[in-house]
Amino acid sequence: MKYLCLVYLEASKLHAVADGECMACGDGLRKSGMLLAAEPLHPVETATTVRIRNGTLTVTDGPFAETKEQLAGFYLIDARDLNDAIQVAAKIPPAREGSIEVRPVRELQP
């Protein structure tokens, strides 16, 4: 089953974990066959929000929600169950600095 592990960090901690450590984590997961994709993100100030309302496209700066922590990256993993996914999330280095949200991936119903 697929889980998306969303990495949340405060702005001041976006670089608290060295890139090298994150690369090593990704490499380890890839070798174990559990990693489907993982990417870090630029800070939230670079984000653009896109919406279609009444057929009209609106584009705005940043996300609207005012939260202390922002989405800093993600790992898409394949795990046996939630316990297995929690074990993986616990090994993602930014878990020490911010938090990891573990979300089960839903199958689209045709």
Partner 1 sequence: MAAVEPIHEIVDAVYVAESRRVLATLIRLLGDFDTAEEALHDAFRAALEQWPREGVPKNPRSWLVSAGRFKAIDGLRRQSRFDQLDEAGAAAEIAVAPDAWTDEETVEDDRLRLVFTCCHPALAADAQVALTLREVCGLRTEEIAQAFLAPAPTLAQRIVRAKAKIRDARIPYQVPSREELPQRLDTVLRVIYLVFNEGYTASSGSVVTRHDLSAEAIRLGRLLVDLLPEPEAIGLLALMLLHDSRRAARATPEGDLILLEDQDRSLWNRDQIAEGVRLVRRALASGPGAYAIQAAIAALHAEAPSTAGTDWAEIVGLYDMLLQANPSPVIELNRAVALAMRDGPAAGLALIDAILDRGDLHDYRLAHAARAELCRRLGQIADARTSFERALTLTRQEPERRFLEKRISSLSMAEG
Which range binds partner 1 by CB under 8 A, 8-16, 41-49, 51-59, 83-91? 83-91
Part in contact with partner 1 (CB under 8 A); list of ranges 46-54, 57-65, 67-75, 101-109? 101-109
Cβ distance to partner 1 smaller for residue 2 or 13: 2
Which H or E element spans position 5?
A: strand 2-10
d(CA 63, CA 108): 26
**Which of the residues 63 through 82 are near partner 1 (CB under 8 A)?**
80-82
Neighbours of 31 (CB within 10 A): 9
Asked whether position 106 contacts partner 1 by CB under 8 A, the answer is yes
Burial class (CB in 10 A: 0-12, 13-18, 19+), 85: buried
Residues near partner 1, by CB under 8 A: 1, 80-84, 86, 102, 104, 106
